[in-house]
């Protein structure tokens, strides 16, 4: 089985072919979404979840730390955004900063508990903390609205200099989200292809060896968790804007499992772009199957089980393998790039 | 639900044909263009839960809507237009509710949305619906907040809520069981708002709350709470426990045989939640908005129509959830007929303040749609287990009924601030 | 202080029931180091299978079904109690076969596969038995209530707690006092050695997983009359089972039992004196214990920590 480390790192410019394709698809989506039978709001959700899944994969795929309670940080970001709008000021950037900050703080605290742990204990504790946050969100209903959620969160206008864009229209909001997602993805690309990315991968391959080589493994693990929680918080803030509410459900064990499912099915363990494929596949499968049969989850679950059994490297791995099997094209010596 | 299955391919082609080159101009545009075609069907989006905690009630809710729609279609539809439905599972999850509502409005051209059991889902859907100006009927979510602080101009609530049931039950119960009460309250929004109504009534009628036991949502074992109640020895216990918590609790009360040892005042018991269970699960006194065995004209025929349409359903006779689903759609279609249009504002005005004679609704008192809170004010029945019955379907013994005037929640109109007509986007299905 | 006694008794019963719920889960985690997220679904499946056995769900109307329903409730119940878990165990074995490609990989794959399986089983239950609430009957002799110190207690719950003690002891004896248990435990720690000694490791794993799933099924059958029975019951099971393992320490049998009793006492007593915190008490316990003892009460170093 191939892993992320089999794919050579590339320094320098992040403007590769897959990146161009990704940005192009993201930027043009509103023009063709309805034409292929989808709808604008689905595009918004997909873009947000791509951001969440990519940030999650920094931890999951690159550092090999299997968090199974990551929905909590998405939820904290959503509450952070909503509470800022309700309690402090109606402000777009203020809200998003609050979302990032809230999730980062929560991630940093939990990360400090977690980073001594390895393997199965790491996964167990992430579930444990995820449950604590979920339960707290349900319990503090005077603050979070409990299970009814925090409602009537505004979508503040986007103000850039003299321009004021009303984000209540889903198309305008989509572009805003897509822009943030694109910037974040470029940022993440830089991170994983920088020396930091190598250190994280060294920890994944062999934590003990990484420690002997001289890396402060605890600090890197903590950092990976915190950064990934920060991205989750940003995604959560956007999600609160999309739904104009924040709900505790995204923090549940089920939802945290679903994000792992998406990343794995897409191939987050073998490719930078895996989470993107996974998120798109999940949302479209849910939308198409869900319209056809009420038992869509049964079919998706079955597909997932089979996938874990026979193709644990996911869609991206499949594409990668197929590309390798295909007869060498123009430049046979060229190594496969970040798929 | 064969009627609600629409092939994706067909949807693709109709959507593509309708939108043509203007896919980019926002979701409202193409629906409006579409609306000008003659005798285009009216599409109703059914937003009922098919999975999660309320899957079972969601299915019953949907059956109610489908019967009303089938009956309307058999008469030739409304304004000469057939009614089509599109159903998506809202998964008892608010986040899914938002997405489903967005898809139904922008992608499936649904002009109206109907269905809810879970108040969080109902809220999520109604926020989206208000944004587009699409009328949404909350059929079965009985949280007082639905017609209180979370009300919307486009949302109409067809179920009675926790406050209504408390009003119907508390005064009589103080007289009967004494003044010392214990409240058993689910520690979430619905539980607290229902308990607040009970507390206010206790104060008003000279009762005394000796303790309130808060029960966290998700509690599966009630033994310590039940022991505590025995130690406190109250005259009556007012329970506001909902969802799966309630199912676990009544099982344990039945086991202890505590159902008839303590005077239990429960909130509403939804029919799909209790149907087919042993009678000792139905402890104490509880509320309902309708019962299939009410001795009123039309009830027998209504039950017969249900049995004819759903011969294979596990629930053999209709209950309150079905009833609310059915009447929500009937009243919506009636309002479209009266308005002579599917324009949202016209239909909303036709619904607001609308009076529904007791005879039509098969209840004891006339009902109306409150123009201030958009909640249907209706008769409330108090019931208890029908011990000794031979008929397994005939589970309730109706103790009495309360008129909507008596059950009216006085605080709702203060809490509810509807959006103005002007700030509600115009929408034509 | 006399008012405290019934709550302590109640807390202990609760703790034993929690131990019963977690038993299969702890066995599979401890021996095979697979976090079986399908535990709750197998629990529910076991209860539904038992229910259909008792009520002749599959063969009602046939001559055998008519004969069957004429049998006394108690005998049908105990056959159901045996058959439901056996069938749940068979389902667990099927799951183990699916798990095989994940051995030797990160523990995550097992976790993910069982997460998928949990969804599949739950949806399958929904399709087969419907979404509605079902009632699990209990034979007359173990149902009802009794008075103790002027308070009503459930007879069934005490039987269930007694049953939990028996089940705990049986599993412990099986693991500690039979050669079979020794091999299984050795297999978990040094599979090479077990293989070298000529034991069929694949079969061992199949049996352990089947046994763990059967325990889940038994727990489901026993708990259904207390919690009620509905398709999405699984999540109510996985979370406490999971917390108990983390508190008790992965791989420690007695750690899990002790944790279950602690959790039971905590929920039982907070349930009476600070009821709003009764569920939160589990999480507080989790943070308090894991904060001080990284591997839980009696946890040992797991092979999969590396």
Which residues face B396 on adjacent strands? B385
Which residues face B285 on adjacent strands? B265
Rounded distance between C-alpha atoms, residue B107 and residue A287, angstroms: 11
Look up tokens 């966290």; give the residue: B216
Mean pLDDT computed over every residue of chain A: 87
Render pLDDT for B157-177 as a digit per residue (tens, 0 to 9).
Answer: 999 988 899 998 998 899 889
User: Does C2 lie at the interface with A, CB-CB under 8 angstroms?
Assistant: no
Q: How confident is the model at residue B28 (pLDDT cuts 50, 70, 90)?
A: very low
Contact B94 A247 (CB under 8 A): yes
User: Does B4 lie at the interface with A, CB-CB under 8 angstroms?
Assistant: no
Residue B20 pLDDT > 70, yes or no? no
Alpha-carbon distance B263 to nearest alpha carbon in chain A (angstroms)? 29
pLDDT, residue B84, reads 95
The rounded percent of chain B whose pLDDT value lies above 90 is: 62
Rounded to a whole number of angstroms, the CA Rg of chain A reads 20
Residue A79 pLDDT > 90, yes or no? yes
Range ranked top by mean pLDDT from B180-184, C26-30, C204-208 = B180-184
Give the tokens for residue B43: 């599409």
In terms of phi and psi (left: phi > 0; alpha: psi -120 to 50; beta: otherwise), the region of C63 is alpha
Count how many residues are written for chain C: 306
Question: Helices (DSSP H) in chain A: which residue ranges?
Answer: 17-32, 40-57, 71-87, 92-114, 119-139, 141-144, 170-193, 195-205, 207-213, 217-243, 253-266, 274-292, 296-310, 314-325
User: What are residue B119's phi and psi, to 5 degrees?
Assistant: -65, -35
Give the tokens for residue C225: 């009359």
**C-alpha dist (Å) from residue B200 to B151, B170, B209, B236:** 22, 10, 10, 16
Give the tokens for residue B44: 């109703």
Average pLDDT of B355-383? 96
Smallest Cα–Cα separation from B397: which of B407, B416, B411, B384? B384
**C-alpha dist (Å) from residue B247 to A190, A305, B273:** 53, 32, 8
Helix (H, G, I), strand (E, B) or coil at C118: helix
Mutate: best of A56, A72, A121, A317, partner C, most C CBs <10 A: A121
Size of interface A-C (CB pairs under 8 A): 118
Render pLDDT for B287-310 as a digit per residue (tens, 0 to 9).
Answer: 999 999 999 999 999 999 999 999
The rounded percent of chain A whose pLDDT value lies above 70 is: 92
pLDDT, residue B31, reads 43
Choice among A284-298, B81-95, B192-206, C14-28 with the minimum mean pLDDT: A284-298
The rounded percent of chain B whose pLDDT value lies above 70 is: 91
Rounded distance between C-alpha atoms, residue B401 and residue B363, angstroms: 9
Smallest Cα–Cα separation from C225: which of B353, B255, A224? B255
pLDDT, residue A327, reads 55
E-assigned strand segments in B291-362:
355-356
pLDDT, residue B17, reads 39
In terms of phi and psi (left: phi > 0; alpha: psi -120 to 50; beta: otherwise), the region of B348 is alpha
pLDDT, residue B33, reads 43
Look up tokens 């000529």; give the residue: C198
Contact C106 A66 (CB under 8 A): yes
Sorted by sequence, the CB contacts under 8 Å of residue A161 that are 6+ apart come out as none
Residue A334 pLDDT > 80, yes or no? no
For Cα atoms B398, B402, B404, give the angle at the middle one, nearest 5 degrees.
Answer: 135
- pTM higher than the cut 0.80: yes
Residue B424 pLDDT > 80, yes or no? yes
Contact B95 A250 (CB under 8 A): yes
Contact B281 C3 (CB under 8 A): no
Contact A308 C120 (CB under 8 A): no
Q: How confident is the model at residue A12 (pLDDT cuts 50, 70, 90)?
A: low
pLDDT, residue A179, reads 96
User: Does C283 lie at the interface with A, CB-CB under 8 angstroms?
Assistant: yes
pLDDT, residue B19, reads 38
User: Does A140 lie at the interface with C, CB-CB under 8 angstroms?
Assistant: no
pLDDT, residue C277, reads 85
Give the tokens for residue B343: 């324009």
pLDDT, residue B30, reads 42
The CB density around residue A279, as the number of other CB atoms within 10 Å, is 26
pLDDT, residue B277, reads 86
pLDDT, residue C190, reads 67
Mean pLDDT computed over every residue of chain B: 88
pLDDT, residue A287, reads 84
Mutate: best of A147, A174, A235, A301, partner B, most B CBs <10 A: A147
Helices and strands: H and E segment counts in chain B:
16, 15
User: What are residue A173's phi and psi, to 5 degrees?
Assistant: -65, -40
E-assigned strand segments in B243-352:
263-268, 285-288
User: Does B192 lie at the interface with A, CB-CB under 8 angstroms?
Assistant: yes
Q: How confident is the model at residue B25 (pLDDT cuts 50, 70, 90)?
A: very low
Residues C92 and C98: beta-carbon distance below 8 Å? no
Average pLDDT of C178-206? 74
Rounded distance between C-alpha atoms, residue A48 and residue A46, angstroms: 5
Residue A62 pLDDT > 60, yes or no? yes
pLDDT, residue B384, reads 93
Give the tokens for residue B289: 């908005």
Average pLDDT of B87-115? 92
Rounded distance between C-alpha atoms, residue B376 and residue B157, angstroms: 6
Q: Which chains does A contact via 3+ CB–CB distances below 8 A?
A: B, C
Give the tokens for residue C22: 């977690």
Average pLDDT of C73-87? 89
Sorted by sequence, the CB contacts under 8 Å of residue B378 that are 6+ apart come out as B160, B289, B361, B363, B365, B367, B404
Look up tokens 């309670």; give the residue: A69
pLDDT, residue B429, reads 79
pLDDT, residue C21, reads 93
pLDDT, residue B14, reads 39
Average pLDDT of C96-113? 86
Residue A109 pLDDT > 50, yes or no? yes
- The residue with greater pLDDT, A246 or B242, is A246
Average pLDDT of C253-266? 93
Render pLDDT for C276-287 as a digit per residue (tens, 0 to 9).
Answer: 888 888 888 887
- The residue with greater pLDDT, A100 or C172, is A100
Choice among A159-173, C42-56, C184-198 with the minimum mean pLDDT: C184-198
Render pLDDT for A270-283 as a digit per residue (tens, 0 to 9).
Answer: 889 999 999 999 99
Contact A121 C250 (CB under 8 A): yes
| DSSP sequence for B28-52 | HHHHHHHHTSTTPPEEEEE---SSS
**C-alpha dist (Å) from residue B56 to A293, B125, C132, C181:** 16, 20, 5, 44
Mean pLDDT computed over every residue of chain C: 86
Sign of the CA dihedral B205, B211, B215, B220?
Answer: negative
The rounded percent of chain C whose pLDDT value lies above 90 is: 38
Per residue in B130-155, is it b (16+ CB within 10 Å) or e — as a string? Answer: bbbbbbbbbbbbbbbbbbbebbbbbb
Residue B147 pLDDT > 70, yes or no? yes
pLDDT, residue C1, reads 44
Contact B24 A30 (CB under 8 A): yes
pLDDT, residue C306, reads 42
pLDDT, residue A333, reads 40
Write out chain C residues lying below 8 Å of B252, CB-based. Answer: 154, 226
pLDDT, residue B325, reads 97
* Secondary structure of A205-262 in HEC code, one letter for each residue: HCHHHHHHHCCCHHHHHHHHHHHHHHHHHHHHHHHHHHHCCECHHHHCHHHHHHHHHH
Sorted by sequence, the CB contacts under 8 Å of residue C224 that are 6+ apart come out as C47, C50, C51, C136, C233
Give the tokens for residue A140: 């503090």
Look up tokens 């572009």; give the residue: A175
The end-to-end CA distance of chain A, in Å, is 15
Residue B399 pLDDT > 90, yes or no? yes
Q: How confident is the model at residue B315 (pLDDT cuts 50, 70, 90)?
A: very high
The DSSP H or E segment spanning C239 is helix C234-248
Residues A181 and A280: beta-carbon distance below 8 Å? no
């Amino acid at each position: 089985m191939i892993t992320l480390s089999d794919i050579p790192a590339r320094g320098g410019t992040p403007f590769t072919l897959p990146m161009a394709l990704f940005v192009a698809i993201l930027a043009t989506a509103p023009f063709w979404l309805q034409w292929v039978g989808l709808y604008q709001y689905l595009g918004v959700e997909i873009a947000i979840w791509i951001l969440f899944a990519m940030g999650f994969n920094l931890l999951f795929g690159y550092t090999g730390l299997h968090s199974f309670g990551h929905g909590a940080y998405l939820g904290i970001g959503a509450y952070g955004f909503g509470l800022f709008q309700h309690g402090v000021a109606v402000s777009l950037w203020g809200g998003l900063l609050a979302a990032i900050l809230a999730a980062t703080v929560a991630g940093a605290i939990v990360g400090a508990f977690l980073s001594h742990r390895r393997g199965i204990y790491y996964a167990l504790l992430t579930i444990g903390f995820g449950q604590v946050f979920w339960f707290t969100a349900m319990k503090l209903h005077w603050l979070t609205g409990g299970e009814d959620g925090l409602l009537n969160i505004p979508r503040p206008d986007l103000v850039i200099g003299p321009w004021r864009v009303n984000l209540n229209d889903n198309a305008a909001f989509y572009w805003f989200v897509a822009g943030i997602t694109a910037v974040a993805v470029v940022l993440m690309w830089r991170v994983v292809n920088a020396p930091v990315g190598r250190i994280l991968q060294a920890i994944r391959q062999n934590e003990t060896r990484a420690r002997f080589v001289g890396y402060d493994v605890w600090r890197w693990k903590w950092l990976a968790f915190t950064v990934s929680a920060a991205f989750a918080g940003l995604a959560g803030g956007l999600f609160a804007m999309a739904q104009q509410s924040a709900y505790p459900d995204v923090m549940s064990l089920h939802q945290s499992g679903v994000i792992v499912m998406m990343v794995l099915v897409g191939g987050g363990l073998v490719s930078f772009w895996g989470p993107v494929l996974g998120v798109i596949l999940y949302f479209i499968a849910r939308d198409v199957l869900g319209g056809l049969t009420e038992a869509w989850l049964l079919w998706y679950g079955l597909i997932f089980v089979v996938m874990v059994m026979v193709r644990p490297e996911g869609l991206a791995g499949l594409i990668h393998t197929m590309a390798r099997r295909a007869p060498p094209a123009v430049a046979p010596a060229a190594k496969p790039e970040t798929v | 639900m064969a009627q609600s299955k629409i092939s994706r391919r067909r949807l693709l082609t109709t959507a593509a044909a309708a939108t043509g080159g203007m896919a980019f101009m926002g979701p409202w545009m193409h629906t409006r263009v579409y609306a000008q075609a003659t005798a285009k069907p009216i599409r109703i989006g059914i937003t009922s839960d098919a999975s999660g905690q309320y899957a079972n009630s969601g299915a019953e809710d949907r059956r109610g809507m489908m019967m009303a729609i089938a009956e309307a279609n058999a008469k030739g539809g409304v304004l000469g237009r057939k009614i089509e439905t599109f159903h998506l599972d809202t998964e008892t999850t608010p986040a899914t509710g938002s997405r489903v509502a967005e898809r139904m409005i922008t992608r499936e051209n649904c002009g109206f949305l109907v269905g809810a059991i879970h108040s969080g889902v109902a809220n999520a859907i109604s926020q989206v619906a208000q944004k587009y100006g699409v009328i949404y009927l909350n059929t079965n979510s009985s949280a007082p907040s639905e017609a209180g602080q979370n009300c919307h101009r486009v949302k109409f609530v067809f179920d009675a809520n926790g406050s209504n049931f408390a009003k119907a039950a508390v005064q009589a119960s103080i007289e009967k069981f004494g003044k010392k009460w214990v409240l058993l309250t689910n520690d979430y929004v619905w539980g607290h708002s229902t308990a607040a109504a009970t507390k206010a009534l206790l104060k008003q009628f000279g009762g005394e709350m000796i303790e309130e036991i808060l029960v966290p949502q998700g509690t599966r074992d009630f033994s310590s709470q039940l022991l505590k109640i025995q130690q406190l020895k109250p005259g009556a216990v007012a329970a506001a426990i909902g969802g799966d918590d309630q199912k676990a609790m009544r099982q344990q009360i039945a086991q202890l045989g505590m159902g008839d040892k303590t005077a239990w005042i429960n909130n509403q018991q939804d029919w799909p939640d209790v149907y087919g269970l042993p009678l000792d699960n139905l402890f104490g006194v509880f509320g309902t908005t309708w019962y299939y065995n009410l001795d009123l004209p039309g009830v027998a025929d209504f039950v017969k129509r249900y049995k004819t349409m759903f011969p294979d359903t596990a629930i053999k006779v209709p209950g309150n959830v079905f009833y609310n689903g059915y009447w929500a759609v009937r009243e919506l279609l009636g309002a479209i007929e009266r308005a002579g249009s599917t324009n949202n504002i016209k239909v909303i005005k036709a619904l607001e303040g609308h009076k529904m004679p007791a005879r039509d609704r098969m209840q004891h008192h006339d009902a109306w749609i409150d123009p201030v809170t958009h909640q249907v004010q209706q008769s409330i029945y108090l019931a208890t287990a029908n011990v000794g019955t031979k008929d397994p379907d005939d589970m309730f013994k109706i103790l009495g009924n309360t008129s909507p005037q008596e059950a009216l929640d006085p605080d709702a109109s203060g809490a509810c601030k509807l959006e103005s007509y002007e700030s509600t986007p115009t929408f034509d299905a | 202080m006399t008012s405290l006694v019934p709550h302590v008794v109640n807390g202990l019963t609760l703790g034993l029931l929690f131990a019963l719920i977690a038993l299969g889960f702890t066995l599979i985690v401890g021996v095979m180091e697979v976090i079986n997220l399908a535990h709750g679904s197998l629990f529910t499946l076991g209860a539904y299978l038992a229910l259909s056995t008792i009520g002749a769900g599959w063969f009602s109307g046939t001559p055998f079904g008519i004969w069957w329903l004429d049998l006394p409730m108690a005998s049908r119940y105990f056959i159901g109690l045996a058959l439901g878990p056996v069938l749940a165990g068979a389902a667990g074995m099927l799951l183990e076969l699916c798990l095989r490609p994940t051995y030797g990989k990160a523990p995550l794959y097992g976790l993910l596969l069982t997460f998928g399986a949990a969804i599949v089983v739950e949806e399958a239950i929904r399709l087969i038995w419907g979404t509605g609430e079902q009632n699990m009957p209990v034979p007359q002799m173990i149902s009802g209530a009794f008075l103790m110190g002027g308070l009503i207690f459930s007879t069934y719950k005490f039987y269930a707690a007694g049953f939990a003690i028996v089940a705990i002891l049986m599993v412990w004896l099986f693991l500690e006092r039979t050669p079979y248990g020794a091999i299984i435990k050795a297999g978990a720690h040094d599979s090479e050695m077990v293989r070298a000694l000529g034991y069929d490791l694949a079969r061992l794993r199949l049996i352990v997983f089947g046994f763990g799933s059967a325990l889940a099924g038994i727990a489901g059958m026993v708990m259904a009359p207390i919690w009620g029975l509905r398709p999405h019951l699984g999540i109510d099971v996985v979370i406490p089972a999971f917390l108990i393992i983390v508190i008790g320490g992965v791989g420690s049998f007695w750690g899990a039992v002790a944790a279950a009793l602690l959790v039971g006492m905590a929920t039982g007593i907070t349930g009476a004196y600070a009821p709003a915190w009764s569920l939160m008490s589990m999480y507080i316990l989790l943070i308090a214990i894991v904060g001080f003892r990284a591997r839980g009460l009696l946890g040992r170093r797991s092979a999969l920590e590396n």
